[in-house]
Structure 1
Amino acid sequence: MQKTKAGFKRLIDIICRWDFRPEDIQGVPWDALNEQLGESDAAGDMEDTWYDEPDAGWTATPISLPIPIHRLAKSPGVQEYHFPPFHHRSIVAILKEKMNNADEFQHFHLEPYELRWQKGDTASVRVHGELYTSPAFLEAHEEIQALPRAPGCTLQRVVVGLMYASDCTHLTSFGSAYLWPLYVFRERIEV
């Protein structure tokens, strides 16, 4: 009774797509799900607090993008679209948090080394695998050690290896919403 014509058309568009599979939504407790979503929204729980941690270094940046709208649309031309604030952290804030966490920091690998393998009396072979055994990591470590020390500084000088990755993430069970998150990995050794 509360469905609009436009909403009904969107529903028809979804279920008529080639990649829609009815078995994906069979057995979903829709009433319980709607009730749970309604309770969360009413209680104000919908707002995540992962970026609200004290001293975590999160920054909220509002983003606006000019979006071209087709000339035959009701409001053609370039329209400014305002996104919710984008929450992000600096690399330095991430490193400070991880290095101050004793449980996690004990597994970080800060001293590079050259990994070699040898079978019997044959010459050893360089093994490439982890970032902290790479030639670039070794060179950066040597470069930092060769720098003159600040007067009175006795802190250990290390290179912290960071690796970046991104992949496509499908945001909905059906539809065409995608996201490409950027992952930052700290080089660490598991024990």
Structure 2
Amino acid sequence: MKKQRDIFIAFFRSGILGYGGGPSSIPLVYKEVVERFDWMNAEEFGDILALANTLPGPINTKMAGYIGYRVGGYVGMVNAILASILPTIVAMILLFASINKIKQFNWVNGMIAAIIPVVGVMMGTLTWQFLKNTKKDFGTGKTIVLSVLILIVLQFFHIHPAIVIAVFLIAAFVQRDKEEQVVKKKERTGA
């Protein structure tokens, strides 16, 4: 029981003090896991950090899940994940509750309305970066054709974006496998 309490305390502290997201909480997790509770050494922590960076999703919850499991089994994993996300959940509930109470004020509505164009600009910038990278990899012609094709599939056929992404991922893996087979065949024949 003391071990589960320590797991909760370690990840709750790093979750509540790690303002700014995952990268800001990594040093806090290190301090708790390596220095305070001595659950692993610095090298092991570095390995876990490297592995967590390769997987999708928030780094703090991935590290919490693995370290919690390693220290306290499945209960420790759930405990650590809940402890790391609980501060964010509480903060969001308080934020939304306070916004609902003061949303009738004009200055609050203005702040909320100002967020929409900022998010739009950020999404536009991200889209532009994706288009530049695609153009670099595929060329201008293929990029335009792919963009139009995706627009048609999404807007006119109402295909869910996750399906489109999955199809393109599968196509990329198949294409890569074909290219690897061609390279291996050339190596075998000496061409």
- What TM-score does the superposition give when structure 1 sets the normalisation length? 0.21
Which structure features the higher share of helix residues?
A: 2
Which structure features the higher share of strand residues?
A: 1
- What TM-score does the superposition give when structure 2 sets the normalisation length? 0.21
- Max radius of gyration: which structure? 1
Higher relative contact order (CA 8 A, sep 6+): 2
